[in-house]
Amino acid sequence: MNILAVGCHPDDIEIACGGTLAKYAKAGHKVVYCHVATGSMGHAVIMPEELTKIRHEEVDRSCEILGAEHISMGIPDLMVDSKNEDLVRDMVDVIRYARPDIIITHSPDDYMRDHVETSRLVFNASFSSSIIHYETEHEPYATIAPIYYMDTLAGMNFDPTEYVDISEEIETKISALACHESQIVWMLEHDKIDFLDFVRTCSKFRGLQSGVAYAEGFRPCNVWPRMVAKRLLP
């Protein structure tokens, strides 16, 4: 299968579905990892232009660990707008390039505007990608791909209906997340948050809910014609 994971910022994907992507890749599926925003505002000391470069390099290292191809759409933080037609067209082109059997992205009820706008962007673009006369660089993709929403930060306002056992992938998930050193170090030194432990704990909690050591939770986008009569999650 072809898997497309679309997060807003660098590290959002590792936090919520890094173990699932590693599991897909290990099984031989093609995984494309796309983040919409650059993460340019994710530090109080490092300036946005420098941080953009740092965070891009961090994602490259993370994707090597996860076994995923990396695409960055290059939008500055706080500027993600699902009604921006140029951005919609660019996302359509990403979807047409990846030709996904499943798309994983943010919940439409996530905790900040950039995440919510990314969710809406993916929903809109994944339909538009099938429209023959909507022109982009890549050919139209006839399939309106099923969307699965990934967990929110700390699982707030998110009740999974499906789980993926990532007990064997938990260390890969944490190693990939640890590549985002600009964020991990900053939060530990200045916010006193051990974010690696934070994410491990959230995965353990989802595991407790689903009867395994570690898990990640998801919800499908239940609208026609995005549902299929087979399991798409690994």
- Rounded CA gap, 201 and 207, in Å? 10
pLDDT at 191 over 90: no
| Residue closest to 221 by CA, chosen among 68, 107, 113 | 107
| Residue closest to 102 by CA, chosen among 208, 200, 1 | 1
What value does the mean pLDDT take over residues 195-223?
Answer: 98
| Candidate from 40-49, 94-103, 106-115, 120-129 with smallest mean pLDDT | 40-49
Q: Among the CATH numbers 1.10.443.10, 3.50.50.60, 3.40.50.10320, 3.40.50.720, which is that of 2-220?
A: 3.40.50.10320
Structure token pair of residue 172: 């890969």
The verdict on pTM exceeding 0.95 is yes
Q: Say how many Å lie between the first and final Cα of the chain, rounded.
A: 11
Domain assignments of the chain as residue spans, ordered by start: 2-220
pLDDT at 44 over 90: no
**pLDDT (0 to 100) of residue 196:** 97
Residue 167 burial class via C-beta count within 10 angstroms: exposed 0-12, middle 13-18, buried 19 and up: middle
- Rounded CA gap, 100 and 68, in Å? 13
